C-alpha cells in the first residue's frame, strides 16, 4: 500500500505540473468548458488574495499530519494520496511562482487546476471512507 500511496502522489504532481506548463497563457474554447489560464494568490474562488505565505504554511501543516498519521489510517490511502498530491502540486506553484496557476474553466464555476480537483476528490474520499467505518 505504501508504494501505491507514494506513486499516486507522484503521478498527480507530475500531471498537475505538466498541464499547468502546457496550458500556460492559453485560451481555448471547447463549448462546455474552456482552457483559460489565470493565476491566483488566494484560496478557492480567489478569496483571501495575497495570502500566499499563509497557504504555504497551511499546506505544509496538512502534509505533516497526513504523513505522520498515514500508517494509522491505511484504509484512507487513496484519499490521502489524492489530497497530498493536490497540496504538493499547488505548493510548488506557491513557492516557485508566488501564485497558483489555474486553467480549467467550466464557465459556471471559478477557474481551477488538476491539483485542486484531486484535493477535492481526496477530501470527499476520506469523508466517505470515514462515514462507512
Catalytic residue numbers? 102, 116
Distance CA 113, CA 108 (A): 15
Look-up of cell digits 507514494: 6
Distance CA 74, CA 83 (A): 14
Q: Which of 23, 42, 44, 45 is nearest to 34 (CA)?
A: 23
Amino acid at each position: 500500500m505504501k508504494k501505491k500511496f507514494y506513486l499516486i502522489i507522484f503521478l498527480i504532481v507530475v500531471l498537475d505540473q505538466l498541464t499547468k506548463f502546457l496550458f500556460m497563457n492559453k485560451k481555448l474554447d471547447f463549448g462546455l468548458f474552456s482552457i483559460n489560464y489565470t493565476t491566483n494568490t488566494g484560496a478557492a474562488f480567489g478569496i483571501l488574495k495575497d495570502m500566499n505565505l499563509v497557504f504555504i504554511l497551511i499546506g505544509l501543516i496538512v502534509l505533516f499530519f497526513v504523513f505522520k498519521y498515514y500508517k494509522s489510517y491505511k484504509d484512507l490511502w487513496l484519499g490521502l494520496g489524492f489530497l497530498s498530491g493536490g497540496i504538493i502540486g499547488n505548493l510548488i506553484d506557491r513557492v516557485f511562482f508566488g501564485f497558483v496557476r489555474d486553467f480549467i474553466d467550466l464557465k459556471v464555476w471559478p477557474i481551477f487546476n488538476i491539483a485542486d480537483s484531486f484535493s477535492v476528490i481526496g477530501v470527499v474520499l476520506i469523508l466517505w471512507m470515514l462515514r462507512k467505518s
